Amino acid sequence: MSEKILLRGGRVVDPSQSLDRVHDVLIVDGSVARLADGIEAPEDARTVDCAGKVVCPGLIDVHVHLREPGGEHKETIATGAASAVAGGFTAVCAMPNTDPPIDDPAAVGFVVAAGRAAGLARVYPVGCISSGRAGERLALVGEMVDAGAVAITDDGSPVMNSGLMRMALEYARAFGIPVADHPEDLGLSDGGHMNEGIVSSRLGLGGKPNASEDIHIVRDLLLAELTGGHIHLQHVSTRFGVESIRQAKARGVHVTAEASPHHLVLTHEAVDGYRTEAKMNPPLRAQEDVDAVRAGLADGTLDTIATDHAPHHYDEKEAAFADAPNGIVGLETALGIVLTHVVGEGVIDLPTMIERMSCQPARAFGLPGGTLAIGGPADVTVFDPGARWVVDAGQFRSRSRNTPFGGWELTGRPTMTIVGGRIVWSG
Amino acid sequence: MSEVGKPLGKDLVGLEGLSADQLRMILDTAEPFKEISERRIKKVPVLRGKTIVNLFFEASTRTRISFEFAEKRLSADTVNISSTGSSVAKGETLVDTARNLEAMRIDMVVIRHGASGAARFLAERIPSNVINAGDGWHEHPTQGLLDLLTIRDRMGRIEGLRVCIVGDIKHSRVARSNIYGLRALGAEVAVCGPRTLLPPAPEELGCRVFSRVEEAIEWADVLNVLRLQLERMQAGYVPSLREYNRIWGVSTARLEAAPRDILVLHPGPMNRGVEIDSDVADGPHSVILNQVTNGVAVRMAVLYLLAGGQPERAEAAKEGGEA
Amino acid sequence: MSESDVRRAVARMAREIVERNGGTDGLVLMGIHRRGVQIADMVRREIREAEGVEVPTGSIDITLYRDDLEVIGPRPIVGGSNLPAAGIDGKVVVLVDDVAYTGRTTKAALNEVGDWGRPRRIVLCVLIDRGGRELPIQPDITGREVQVPEGQHVEVLVPEHDGRLGVDLVEKGAESS
């Protein structure tokens, strides 16, 4: 049975086709069939009135933690996929720091199957760089790619051994996948639980200096240059890091990079009072760093917005600051936060936002989507840029509630998510 | 100070954020409590019937005993709970402990814990009064207060005094409490120690920085000398204890070169011969023993000021509050 | 009461204290903070003029012995308590206060004195007795008995705190601390 959906009268913004106008979109059998004005609805079509809304290629989050296998009390692939579509995301890339880690084709296959069974957002597994995520030897990269992995990373952890990182960049070239890195020097971060600065000084907490992240960003850029490989730098948070990436791109290094919504909006002041819901890695930094990340997002140095959605159970975060785990959920607040505090504050315009949240992620990871071109998969996000709402973690579809944005008043929220031509969420 | 209600609020988690008036009030309240320790019967019935739990997750004899004396001299019933655990276990123990204390309707909790923020964590979760006896590197407010009282007793004032804290400031809750209290009361504060043991941005905390102890002694009216922990040498912050003593140790020779009579404080316990030489600790500049005496009085004052006070019943009580 | 009324009353109280004790031997005056201290001092001077004897005099602050901390909360500790040099063991302690009302101040003072030592006898002397006892405690020597109408409050004024000597009836809520 073919499902037909007509999205009528929305503002269609598709940077991949340089499109930004009020248009109708007809979806047939899971693909985008027509983009035009005044499309007549076929009899068996479901018509959705999108007047006043924005219709864009489905949002893609290349950095989420779905916790399955091993951490199902925090999130499962199914609940994570549900959280994704509730946030307007049609696809996510799942990080491999599960228990056991995703370091072989069987594990990759498990994630693929679980994502398919959930039938909501597309779930693309990312495999480990190193076997067991131990940072010593390369994992079964080629076999993982055959099984469905779209990239490799040891995220959760940095790759401390530069020799291994070089090898990964060289080896991965054969498969056309990016090597994603969580840039951090563990020696410098040792004993740190938040950004090193005046706030950590006052609170009496160990801090992680900017240099810890900067050193690994520079190292990764140099190795990418040396090997010709594709390095993808995750959750960039420092001003020197942004500047280094900018210069490397100018030199022609194949690098893509992420900015997270929280690093675009919050500084280390948000931690004041020992708020573990503002504790993550890399930590929230100083205002100058936030300003640099925003500028980097605007000029394209940072290509994608990725949430680093990191669910943790309430009990674990309800601890002394030093003992609480790092991470915040982000799938269900990302669009609202970015619309209100990034687009809404003039850092980027709406089409650029969609470029950063859909087109670029697809391009960086070689994923289908990121476009509403005719014949392409109908992964579509519809959102209301003017809708006012208050973040209530109790309403999240995610299993976890650890967010620093609880109670924030935001303007802009998703209203419908369509994956492969099926409406998987509407709100 | 308001005649009714709680002048300090429910808890004493730190000195940061206390006003000069509040600090002065605590010090003024401590004075009459000193006198009680001189009496034959060293007790007043102020906290009679109140239950106080001393919750010490880190071993500490002197602070715990000082609190215990303070509590018993106010006629409270005290219970000591000691608990040590691994760094991960600390977190879970704290939440469960908070819930148990709440269920047992404890009136006041004095907590010492290895994690910065632990006192505030507890204070936010239980209705009992919570007093921070030291949380990680963050604050040790009663130590800060007794240091202020000791300085004020000997120098007559705090405002305009130059006080230098010497030692491992980075990991020191005593240093932080001192910095907040001294600055609020108008003193000039400096820190002196190896750069590896200074916190990031000391200037932003309002402190001058001296790299050598001779410079500090040249400048200061008062030195507060901190204990250098053995672990810091083992972790590589300083190459050896002897080197530390050579460059930052407070010795008689150095004090004698000072342009004025300097007061020397130390929170204890001392590493004689490391951060402070024995003849300084036992000599005329030292007020270390006064600190100990003042400690009990200050803690009595804090307990007294936190206890009781339901303003809504105050009007009725005022009738019967006269002769 | 005017200033001269108060002086006459204090003179009579001083005479009664000495008369009851059969002399000045072993007497110790303890004024209860705040205004009891000034009254005690006036008594001491009267006895010195009349008998030529300097009676040891101290003061007592009952703040830490109050029984209403729960409700009222901590109050400033005004004066501290000072024993005369010779102590109170075996002596006749005369507690001197400005107003006797509920009796709770006296009870607190009795507890406090008891913690310091063991007097041979304790005698209570007040300038004004306004009745309204909540405890079975009565002064031994009284300057004057006063009926206080509803909505009013009796205030003893002393030069050191209030600039003059006297006793006034004031509206409730207008009393000074």
Query: Which residues have C-beta within 8 Å of that of residue A102, sequence separation ≥ 6?
Result: A94, A96, A108, A111, A125, A126, A127, A128, A144, A149
Cβ–Cβ of A203/B120 closer than 8 Å?
no
Question: A25 forms bridges with which residues in the sheet?
Answer: A7, A35
Partner residue opposite A201 with nearest CB, options B88, B91, B201: B201
pLDDT at B321: 41
pLDDT digits (tens, 9 = 90+) for A336-362: 999 999 999 999 999 999 999 999 999
pLDDT at C79: 65
Residue B118, chain A, CB below 8 Å: the answer is yes
Q: Which residues of B touch A315 (CB under 8 A)?
A: 92, 95
Q: Which residues of B are catalytic?
A: 62-63, 90, 112, 140
pLDDT at C131: 87
Closest by alpha carbon to A88, among A398, A408, A332, A337? A332
Looking at this predicted complex, what is its ipTM?
0.76
Distance from C-alpha of B173 to C-alpha of A203, rounded to nearest angstrom: 10
Cβ–Cβ of A323/B90 closer than 8 Å?
yes
Residue B168, chain A, CB below 8 Å: the answer is no
Q: Which of A24, A154, A303, A308 is catalytic?
A: A308
Residue A240, classified by CB atoms within 10 Å of its CB into exposed (0-12), middle (13-18) or buried (19+), is middle
How far is CA C166 from its chain centroid?
15
Q: Is A308 a catalytic residue?
A: yes
Q: How far apart are the first and last CA of chain A?
A: 25
The secondary structure of A289-337 as a DSSP string is HHHHHHHHHHHTSS-EE---B----HHHHSS-GGGSPP-B--TTTHHHH
pLDDT at B92: 57
CATH class of A5-55+376-426: mainly beta
In this complex, whether C and B touch, counting 3 or more CB pairs under 8 angstroms, is yes
pLDDT at C69: 74
Residue A360, classified by CB atoms within 10 Å of its CB into exposed (0-12), middle (13-18) or buried (19+), is buried
Total residues belonging to chain A: 427
Residues B226-243 as b/e (b if ≥16 CB within 10 A, e otherwise) read bbbbeebbeeebbeebee
Does A42 have pLDDT greater than 70? yes
pLDDT at A188: 96
Question: A417 forms bridges with which residues in the sheet?
Answer: A381, A425
Tokens 């030199």 -> residue: A251
- CA angle A100/A103/A108 to nearest 5° reads 90
Q: Which residue of C has its CA nearest to B315?
A: C72
What is A59-365's CATH superfamily?
Answer: Metal-dependent hydrolases (3.20.20.140)
pLDDT at C175: 57
pLDDT digits (tens, 9 = 90+) for B6-48: 778 899 999 999 999 999 999 998 988 888 887 777 888 889 8
The secondary structure of A152-163 as a DSSP string is EE-TTS----HH
pLDDT at B309: 55
Mean pLDDT of B233-238: 78
Per the prediction, chain A carries an average pLDDT of 96
**Does residue C149 or residue A252 have the better pLDDT?**
A252
Domain ranges of chain A: 5-55+376-426, 59-365
Residue C126, chain B, CB below 8 Å: the answer is yes
Distance from C-alpha of C137 to C-alpha of C131, rounded to nearest angstrom: 11
- CB < 8 Å from B in window 62-91 of C: 64-66, 68-77, 80-81
Stretches in chain C below the pLDDT threshold 50: 177
Partner residue opposite C74 with nearest CB, options B7, B35, B43: B7
pLDDT digits (tens, 9 = 90+) for A130-152: 999 999 999 999 999 999 999 99
Does B320 have pLDDT greater than 50? no
Q: Is the pTM of this model over 0.90?
A: no
Question: B110 forms bridges with which residues in the sheet?
Answer: B54, B131
CB A65 within 8 A of CB A391: no
Q: Which residues of B touch C71 (CB under 8 A)?
A: 308-310, 313-314, 316-317
Q: Which residue of C has its CA nearest to B26?
A: C76
B neighbours by CB contacts (3+ pairs under 8 Å): A, C
Partner residue opposite B88 with nearest CB, options A202, A209, A323: A323
- CB < 8 Å from B in window 18-47 of C: none
Distance from C-alpha of B176 to C-alpha of B16, rounded to nearest angstrom: 9
DSSP state for residue C88 in the 8-state scheme? S
In this complex, whether C and A touch, counting 3 or more CB pairs under 8 angstroms, is no
Distance from C-alpha of A27 to C-alpha of A376, rounded to nearest angstrom: 10
Q: What number of C-beta contacts closer than 8 Å exist between B and C?
A: 98
Partner residue opposite B5 with nearest CB, options C66, C73, C102: C73
Closest by alpha carbon to C14, among C40, C38, C36? C40
CB A197 within 8 A of CB A286: yes
Question: Rounded to the nearest 5°, which phi and psi values hold at A311?
Answer: -70, 140
- CA angle A309/A311/A317 to nearest 5° reads 130
